[in-house]
Amino acid sequence: METTSPIDLQKERKLILKEYRNLLRGLRNNMTAAERKQIRLAFEMAVDAHKEMRRKSGEPYIIHPLRVAQIVVNEMGLGATAAICALLHDVVEDTELTLDDIKREFGIKVMKIIDGLTKVSGVFDLTSSIQAENFKKLLLTLADDVRVILIKIADRLHNMRTMDSMPRKKQLKIASETLYLYAPLAHRLGFYAIKSELEDLGMKYTESEAYKDIAKRLAETKRERSRYMNEFMKPIRERLEKDGFHFEMYGRPKSIYSIYNKIKNKGVSFDEVYDLFAIRVIIDTPFDHEKADCWRVYSTVTELYHPNPDRLRDWISSPKSNGYESLHTTVMGPKGRWVEVQIRTKRMDEIAEKGFAAHWKYKEGSNDKALDTWLREIRELLRNPEFNALEFMDDFRLNLFNKEIYVFTPKGELKIIPQGATALDFAFEIHTAVGYHCIGAKVNHRLVPLSHRLSNGDQVEIITSKKQKPNEDWLNFLVTSRARSKVKNALKEEKRAIAAEGRIILEKKLKSHKAELFDRNLQLLMEFYHQPTSLELCYRIGTKDIALKELKDFGVDQGKLIPPSKDKQKPVDLAKLEKLATSNAELLIFDNALDDIKYSLAKCCNPIVGDDVFGFITINEGIKIHKTSCPNATEMMSKYGYRIVRTRWTQHKDIAFLTGVKVTGLDDVGLVNKVTNIISGEMRLNMQSLLMDAKDGVFEGTIKVFVKNTDELDKLMNKLRTMKGVISVTRLETT
C-alpha cells in the first residue's frame, strides 16, 4: 500500500482550502453572518466525514462536494442553503452521518433536500430499474423544493467533467443517463450553458470518434472562424455605438453535440452545417425598453446583412415555457456564409444562463408562471401511488421537449405546448374533464379529428360530449405527459377490476405447476407474452386474450419459472449473466472459452468487428451485443445500467458481417458497373444487394455488403468516395 508523504498532505490541505475560499468568494454578496457560520460547519462536517475517501483519480473526495457547491453558486446563481446541501450531498449515502444529524445542525429544509439527493437503497434484480426508482425519489423532493434537482444536475456536471479515470462501463452508463435525462432537464429548467456542456460531455463518451473528429475540425478552423467573426461584427459594432447602445457582442461557439446532430439528421458535412457561425449581442437597457431596443438592434443587423426569412425566432414577444427570452435570426454574411445572431438584454441573458434561479431574482417581470405550471404537473404525475417508476420516467421525459409551439383558445388566450402535440393534448391542457369528454376540435374554424397535430399560431376550439370516455387508442397519438398520465389512470380504473380477476387465475395456474406468483416470475411472463406491465398481463389473462396454455412448456425450480428455450440450446443461465455484469468481467466476443454464454448481435444496429460495443443482458435471449452509438443504447443504459456487460471483440473467427452503405452523388453513365467493380473486383467482397435510384441528375444508392471488420468497411467507403461525382458515403445503422 502506498503512503502519502506529509508534503502531499500539506499540498492537499492547501488545495481544499483554496477550493473552499473560491466557494465563499462566489457567495460573498449573497449571505448573512449566520449563513457563513453554517457553511463553515457544513464544510468541516463534510471534510471530516469524507476524510478517508478518495476519488478514482486519486484526489481527496472532499474536492467533489466543494466543486459541486461552486457550480451551484457560480454557474446556477443559488445561495447559501443550496451551497450547504451541495457540500453535504453525499455524506448520508457514503459516511456515518445520518439524516437526523443533518436535521439537528441545519434544520428540516436542508435535511429534506439531502434526503432527496440520497439514492434509494435495497436489493434490485434484472427486472427492475434502480435508475428509474432513484429518479422518481429525486422528483418527489423536486415537487417541494426545486433546489434538489439543481444540486443533482450540478453533481452530474462535475462527475461528467471528471470521468476520464472511470471504467469504460461506468462511463457509458453515466453518459447515457446524462443524455437521456439530465441534459433535457437542464434545458427545461433554462440552464442553456450547462445543458450544452452536458450534451458535449455525454457525446465524448458515447460516440468518442465522432466527438474527437468534430473537436479537431473546430480547433483547426478556430483562427479562421475568429477572423471571419471579427470581420462580420465590425460594421454592427460601429452602428450600435453610433446609435448610443450599451452592449456586449461576441462570437458563440456552436456545441459539438448540436453540430453532430445536424450532420447526422440532415445528412450534411461539417462545412455545410447551417449556423456554425453564431454571435450574441447583449444590450444593457431598462426593462420598459427591452422589447423595442432588441427590435432596433435586429433592424440594424438586417440592414447590414440579408436575413433568412424562415429562420426568425421571436422568443421576446412569446417566451419559451422555461422563461427563455431572445431574438434569433440567421443572416447571410460575407463570403456567402450563414451566421446566426442572437439578440437579448442583460436580464434575458442571466435567465438564459442561470435559468430557474434567475427567475426568483426577476420575479416581477419574468414569465415564471409557466415554470410553476410545470412543477404542478410533476406533482400531479407523482400523486398516483401505483405509478410504475419506468413508466413515470418515460412520461416525465415527454415534459422535457426542446421545441414548443404557441396556440390560442377561441378567446385568444395563449397556450404553450410541445411541438407535435395534438388537439386532444390541447383539450387536457385546458382541463382534465375537457380531455376525457373530447370528441373533436375546430382548428382555425375547421373541423379536425382528435389526433390532428397542431401548428404554431393555431386557434383551437374543443368539442365535447358527455357520452365520450377515454380509450386505449388515444395513447397512440397523445404527446404530453399530463394527457398520457390522465388517460392511463382512467383506463387503469376499468382495467384494475378485470386484472384482479386475471391475477387470481394466474395464481391458480402457477400453483398447479408448483410455481409461485412473485416479481421475477411475473416479469418472465410479461417478457414471454410481450406485455409492458403486470397490470396489462393480468388484464389480458382476465379477458381470456392470454390463455396461459404455454405454461406447460416452462420448467420450475424451487418455485421459480424457467422459460422455454427458443431453440434446442440450453436455457439462458440468468444467475451466470448477473454475475458477469456485477463482477465487471469482460465478455470476449467469438472467444471459444465463452461458448457456454449465450449471446447474439443486435439487429437494431448490426455491429461488426471493430465497432465500439457493449453487451446487454436480456431475460430470454442471453446477451445482445449493441454498438455504443446504437439508437437504443442511451435509453437502455439509462434505465438498466447494471445490465450492461463490458464487451470486446476477439479475432478468433473469420466471419463476414452484413452491413449497409448509402452513396449519393451526380448521376453518371456506367455508375453501377463502377460501384460493383470496386466491391467485387478490387476488394473481392460479397454483395447481397445494390439498389440505385436516380432522379433529376442525382442518384442515391443503398449497398448491402459482407465485411470482416470496420477497417475493411472504412477502406470500401474511402474507395467509393474517390469515385467521380460521389458527394457522400455513409454507413447505414440498420440493414
* Residues belonging to the active site: 93-94
Closest by CA position to 415, among listed 544, 334, 321: 321
User: Do 622 and 599 touch, CB atoms closer than 8 A?
Assistant: yes
Contact criterion met (CB below 8 Å) for 635 and 690: no
- Distance of alpha carbon 362 from alpha carbon 366, whole angstroms: 6
- Which spans in 50-142 are helix H? 63-70, 80-87, 91-94, 99-106, 108-117, 130-142
Residue 310 has a CB neighbour count (10 Å cut-off) of 6
How far from 465 is each of 129, 138, 433, 436, 441, CA to CA, in Å? 40, 39, 11, 9, 12
Buried b (16+ CB within 10 A) or exposed e, 112-147: bbbbbbbeeeeeeebbbbbbbbbbbbbbebbbebbb
Helices (DSSP H) in 243-287: which residue ranges? 256-266
Contact 575, 520 (CB under 8 A): no
- d(CA 505, CA 499) in angstroms, rounded, equals 10
Longest dimension (CA), the chain: 89
Strand-pair category, 726-732 with 306-307 = unpaired
Cα 186 to Cα 355: distance, rounded to the nearest angstrom: 9
Contact residues for 584 (Cβ-Cβ < 8 A; gap 6+): 167, 169, 646
| Dist. CA 226–CA 244, nearest whole Å | 26
CA-based nearest residue to 644, from 615, 623, 622: 615
| Three-class secondary structure of residue 376 per DSSP | helix
Place of cell 456545441: 255
Q: Phi-psi category of 610—alpha, beta or left, where left has phi over 0 and alpha has psi -120 to 50?
A: left
CB 403 within 8 A of CB 261: no
3-state secondary structure (DSSP) of residue 285? coil
Contact present, 482 and 380 (Cβ < 8 Å): yes
How far apart are alpha carbons 344 and 135 in whole angstroms? 34
CA atoms within 13 A on the CB side of 38: 22
Helix intervals (H) in 406-533 = 423-430, 432-436, 481-512, 519-528
Question: Which conformational region is residue 693 in: left (phi greater than 0), alpha (psi within -120 to 50 degrees), or beta?
Answer: beta
Cell numbers for 569, please give them. 440450446
> Using CB atoms within 10 A of its CB, is residue 604 exposed (0-12), middle (13-18) or buried (19+)?
middle
Check: CB of residue 615 under 8 Å from CB of residue 601.
Answer: no
What is the crossing angle of helices 346-361 and 192-206, to 10°?
A: 100
Query: What cell numbers appear for 85 in the block?
Result: 446541501
